[in-house]
Structure 1
């Protein structure tokens, strides 16, 4: 493990190297396998945690019991991807292959609590785990990850996405799920899919690399409408889920989610 003057944490295992920037939203800024970068570079990219919600909230508003809360609108008329990516996290522990980071929930989120992210690197896999706990009142929350994988690794062939979801959430003109489940449609996608047996998506860069993304979570958003990158986002609930499928974090029941990425070369 190394930590440089910008407070990034770098983990290494065999030919794999991952860099985390806790100061800027605890995002993974780099994942290199034998020197090949897998993540799109830039302040908005890499792989960032989505917490305490994932995707869009309808006009930034959600209800908890009789209380209605307004989140800052930052994607058209909606609030998107949580607040965790916009704050500084604290490095609690780091060694050569693993690290733990935390931050306390605060304004504009209306409830007090703590978020923990663990990053663990092995020679053939990367595991990310996140937990959301409350310091008092119960509240609805979601958690997940938004990785930006490079569409092309320089091999001349673009990534191919392989998965078999049970359904697709029909997307309305407002980019929110309508509440209707439909048969999976052909891409390109900016869509949420249900995988009740757990997320299982494979990215294949022909003649280069195969990367499998798994999680016990039952929801995944796939976004491949940009030329530069593809996104496979395991998450604990669908977009706008704070309103449509709220999962309460209580003093005795924190929200926990994890994902593991495994890879093998196919050259």
Structure 2
């Protein structure tokens, strides 16, 4: 199948999937209102095979050190799959499955599969990474850019994390956990019971970002948009908290966004 954009519909919700542009969700409209910031770098892109920054682009796998391109100098950021073209494996009226084969500069062969399922009042994204050979460390997550404003008041972000990862001057966690601080944020938080963040556009819409994963990065330092990013580990996690993808155990994660009118 081609990798042209796919439009899914359910009730008055509409999602545009862009396999050819990094497998991202290019748009989410509810009742005709677009919730995601538009533009080829925005929407909601998959972060895989790592999330956030890798310190100086380097990570170790056993005795071997690998270097990734420094696309956010002096670090490497947000994986490689958002820069590639994905293939369409299956598509229907309200769901689609797209795949991406991991290639250089990532040093290990593997395949990423993303399942997009739209309901009248929810969107569920599921991503899995499997190896086509040796085991390797990886992370998966999502980086949505929600509009700060839908034409009324600015969005409100509500969540109750157990801790905040202390952020060093290099934007990476120091390894110390601290009590959550007030925003603005470009920070990683721990939610051991699962990610649970509510975005409220007063008088318009409430949207809940949920995931069984326990890590979420919240970024709200830009005027146009706010980001709530569920992920399988903290930034630089390939070094500090690696999750191994093995021939027997793929790495899988799911996030569900559910909404209601106010």
> 2: distance between equivalents of 1:75 and 1:6?
27
TM score, norm. by length of structure 2: 0.99
Name the residue aligned to 1:95: 92
Q: C-alpha displacement at 1:6, in angstroms? A: 7.3
SS class of match (1:85)? helix
Deviation at 1:200, TM superposition (A): 0.2
Are 2:155 and 1:162 equivalent residues in the alignment?
no
The reply on whether 1:106 has 2:121 as its aligned counterpart is no
Instruction: Look up the match of 1:40.
Output: 37
State the partner residue of 1:145. Answer: 142
In structure 2, distance between residues paired with 1:138 and 1:82: 17
Extract unaligned runs of 5+ from structure 2.
Answer: none
Query: CA RMSD for the aligned pairs?
Result: 1.0
Residue 113 of structure 2 corresponds to which residue in structure 1?
116
Within 5 Å, which residues of 2 pair with 1:203-242?
A: 203-242=199-238
What SS is found at the alignment partner of 1:23? coil
Greater than 4 Å deviation, 4+ residue runs: none
Which secondary structure state, in structure 1, belongs to the residue aligned with residue 127 of structure 2? strand
8 Å contact kept, 2:3–2:85:
no
* Structure 1 residues not aligned, in runs of 5+: none
Number of aligned residue pairs: 262
Is it true that 1:200 corresponds to 2:223 in the alignment? no
SS of aligned partner of 2:20: helix
Give me the TM-score of the superposition, normalised by structure 1. 0.97
CA distance in 1 between partners of 2:137 and 2:162 (Å): 25
Deviation of 1:43 (Å): 0.9
Which residue number corresponds to residue 57 of structure 1?
A: 54
Please give the alpha-carbon distance, in whole angstroms, between the structure 2 residues aligned to 1:75 and 1:172: 16
Residues in 1 aligned to 2:155 and 2:100: alpha-carbon distance in whole angstroms: 34
Correspondence for 1:127 among 119, 124, 129:
124
Aligned to 2:70: 73
**Aligned residue runs from structure 1 range 16-35, under 5 A:** 16-35=13-32
Mapped partners of 2:25, 2:150: distance in 1 = 18
